[in-house]
Amino acid sequence: MSSAPSGTHNFKVVLLGEGCVGKTSILLRYIEDKFNDKHLTTLQATFLNKKLNINGKRINLSIWDTAGQEKFHALGPIYYRNSNGAILVYDITDEDSFGKVKNWVKELKKMLGSDIVLVIAGNKVDLEHERTVPLEEAESYAKMVGAKHFYTSAKLNQGVEELFLELTREMVERFEQNSQTEVNRTSRVLVVEDEAPTQSSCCSGSRSN
Amino acid sequence: MEGAYDEIISDNPFFIQFKNEYSNLLQHCISQSWIICVPRIGSLNTRVFTVEDFCAHVLVPSDELPETHYSTLTEKQVTVANKVITLEVTKGLPLQSHILFEETFYTEDYIKYKVWCVETPLEPNTNVGDCAITKDYLLSINDCIDLLWTQAAGRQVLDQIELNVQQFLKKHSPLPIALAPLRDAISELYTQCLQSTLQNRRLREKCKVSKHLLENIKLSVECYMQHLLFDSLFKPICTICAYEDSHLNKKIRNMCDIQLRDLDIKKELYHAVPKAKQILSKIVTYNTVLEKVLCLKQALNAINKKDNSNNVVLLTADDLLPVFVFLLIKSSIPNWYSQLKYMKEFRFSEVGNGDCDESAFLITTLEAVIEHIQSGALAGPPNPESYYYESNLTEDNLNDNGQRKNSLTESISTCDTNSREETLEYVFDLIKANNSEQVQYLLEKNQRHLQSLQQNERSAVKFAENQDDDDDEDDDEEYETEIYQKLCHPLCSCKKCCSKISKNLLKTSPTVSSRDSHGLTPLHIASIHGKANIVEILIDMGAKINATDLNECTPLHYAASRGHQNALLLLLHSGASINQANIDKNTPLHLAVNNGHMNCIKALIYFAEHGRKNLKINCTNEHGNTPLHLAAKWGYEGIAKLLIENGAEPSLQNHNNKTAFDYAHNLKILQVLKLSTPNLYEYIHITSTEVKTLNCKTDNPVTLKLQSLKTRNNETNNVTKTVENLKRLERIFQAISYGDVKLACFYMNIKYENYANTNITTDRLSCHPLCECQLCKKTHQTISDYDINFADSNGLTALHYAARYGLDELCKILLLNNANINSSNRKGQTPLHLAALNNKIMVIRFLLDNGANINAIDLSGNTPLHDACEVGNIGATKMLLNYNPNLNMINGSEKSAIEVAKEKLHLTIIDLIEKHTNKIK
Ligand SMILES: Nc1nc2c(ncn2[C@@H]2O[C@H](COP(=O)(O)OP(=O)(O)O)[C@@H](O)[C@H]2O)c(=O)[nH]1
Ligand SMILES: [Mg+2]
Q: With helix as H, strand as E and coil as C, how does B410-461 read?
A: HHHHHCCCHHHHCCHHHHHHHHHCCCHHHHHHHHHHHHHHHHHHHHHHHHHH
- Of B111, B88, B86, residue with least CA distance to B33: B111
Atom index in ligand 1 nearest the CA of residue A19 equals: 19
> What was the ipTM of the complex prediction?
0.84
Residues pairing with A91 in the sheet: A123
Q: Which helix or strand (DSSP H or E) is residue B702 part of?
A: helix B701-717
Pairing verdict, β A85-91 and A117-123: parallel
Instruction: Please name the residues between 15 and 54 in chain A that touch chain B, using a CB distance below 8 Å.
Output: 19, 23-24, 28, 34-47, 49-54
The dihedral sign for the CA sequence B629, B634, B637, B638: negative
| B112 contacts on A by Cβ (under 8 Å) | 161
Atom index in ligand 1 nearest the CA of residue A25 equals: 15
- Tell me the pLDDT of chain A (209 aa) as tens digits: 333 445 788 999 999 999 889 998 898 888 875 444 444 444 567 888 889 999 889 999 999 999 888 888 889 999 999 899 999 999 999 999 999 999 999 999 998 888 899 999 999 999 999 999 998 999 999 999 999 999 999 988 899 999 999 999 999 999 888 877 655 444 444 444 344 444 443 444 444 44
Amino acid at B540: D
Q: How many CA atoms lie within 13 Å of A206's alpha carbon, on the beta-carbon side? A: 7
Q: Is B298 on the interface with A (CB under 8 A)?
A: no
| A55 contacts on B by Cβ (under 8 Å) | 106-108
Amino acid at B786: Y
Nearest CA to ligand 1 atom 11: A20
Can you tell me the distance from the alpha carbon of B239 to that of B881, in angstroms, rounded to the nearest whole number?
52
Q: How far, CA to CA in Å, does B777 sit from each of A160, B704, B769? A: 87, 12, 11
CB-CB: which of A46, A199, A205 is closest to B198? A199
- The secondary structure of residue A187, as a DSSP letter, is P
Q: Do B747 and B814 contact (CB within 8 A), yes or no?
A: no
Note the residue count of chain B: 921
Measured in whole angstroms, the distance separating CA B438 from the mean position of its chain's CA atoms is 41
Task: Say yes or no for a CB contact (<8 Å) between A62 and B356.
Answer: yes
Task: Say yes or no for a CB contact (<8 Å) between A4 and B6.
Answer: yes
Spatial CB neighbours of B415, under 8 Å, sequence gap ≥ 6:
B438
Residues pairing with B114 in the sheet: B104
- Of B143, B39, B50, B133, residue with least CA distance to B87: B39
Q: How far, CA to CA in Å, does B724 sit from each of A60, B587, B719, B915? A: 71, 20, 9, 50
CA of A175 to nearest chain B CA: how many angstroms apart? 14
| B4 contacts on A by Cβ (under 8 Å) | 1-3
Task: Say yes or no for a CB contact (<8 Å) between A72 and B372.
Answer: yes
Say how many Å lie between the CA of residue A25 and the centre of ligand 2.
7
The dihedral sign for the CA sequence B548, B550, B553, B555: negative
Burial (0-12, 13-18, 19+ Cβ within 10 Å), B467: exposed
pLDDT confidence of residue A56: 85
Residues of chain B with pLDDT under 50: 1-2, 129-131, 134-135, 386-417, 469-484, 506, 677-717, 759-771, 776, 778-784
Can you tell me the distance from the alpha carbon of B367 to that of A64, in angstroms, rounded to the nearest whole number?
15
Nearest CA to ligand 1 atom 8: A22
Find, in chain A, the residue whose alpha carbon is nearest to that of B107. Answer: A55
Q: Do A23 and B280 contact (CB within 8 A), yes or no?
A: no
Per residue in B151-190, is it b (16+ CB within 10 Å) or e — as a string? bbeeebbbebbeebbeebbeebeebebeeeebbebbbebb
Q: Which helix or strand (DSSP H or E) is residue B99 part of?
A: strand B95-106
Model pTM greater than 0.80?
A: no
